[in-house]
Amino acid sequence: MAHTLLQEKFNKNLDNSLIKEIETIGKLVTYKKNDIIIDINQTLKHIPLLLSGNIKILREDQDGNELLIYFLEAGETCTMSLTCCMGTSKSKIRAVAEKDSTLIMIPVQNMQKWFHENASWRNFILESYQTRFDEMLEAIDNLAFIKMDERLIKYLINKTKLHSSKTIIVKHQDIAEDLHTSRVVISRLLKQLENQNKIKLSRNKIEVL
C-alpha cells in the first residue's frame, strides 16, 4: 500500500530513486480521526509525509485555546515540523487527524541529508514552505481583516473541498475551537447563513448549498 500511495501522491515532486529510499527507511503509521499526531513541545525525531486523509495544524495560546493555522492534504508535509527538525527545537504546533489518515514518517537525519543531496527533495521542501507561508499569511489576514461570518463560510467551503462532499459532519463547538471563538457565536452565524439559503443545518451536519 505504501508504494502505491507514495507513487500516486509524490511522483510529481520526488524522483523514483528517492521514493524507493523512502519506502525502505520510512515507517508507515495510521491514525484515527481526532488522534494527535504531533503535539506541542514534543521532540521531533521524524517528519510526516501524508499519504491519505487530512490533518489540521493548530497553535495554542497561553490559556490553552487552539487556533487553526492550516490543513494538510495527501501529498504534503508539515513545514512547521520541518522547521523544528532543522533547528532541533521542540514542536510549536499540534497536528490532529481531521479524518482517518495514513502517513510515512521520515527520520530527521534523512530529511537533512536529502536536502543537500537530492534536488527533487529540496524543491519539494522549498515549495512546501512557500505554500504554508502563503496560507499563514491568509490566516493572519482572516484574523485581522475578515469578519467572523465571512471567515465561517470560507471555513465551511474549505471543509467541503477537503472532504469532497457538500455535507460536513461537524459539531458547532469544533468549528468554534478552530475559529477561536465561542459556540454561541458560531451557532448564531450558522443560523444566519441558513436563513440566507447558503447552508442547511441538521444535527451535527451542515450542507453547503
Q: What angle do CA 145, 147, 149 make, to 5 degrees?
A: 150
Q: Where are the domains of the chain?
A: 2-144, 146-208
> Given the C-alpha cell 495560546, which residue does it identify?
61
Candidates 54, 151, 35, 46; CA nearest to 94 is 35
pTM of the model: 0.71
At 166-176, the pLDDT tens digits run 999 999 999 98
- Band of residue 53 on the pLDDT scale cut at 50, 70, 90: very high
Which CATH number does 2-144 carry? Answer: 2.60.120.10
Which CATH number does 146-208 carry? Answer: 1.10.10.10
At 56-100, the pLDDT tens digits run 988 887 777 788 888 899 999 888 777 766 666 688 889 999 999
C-alpha cell at 165: 462532499
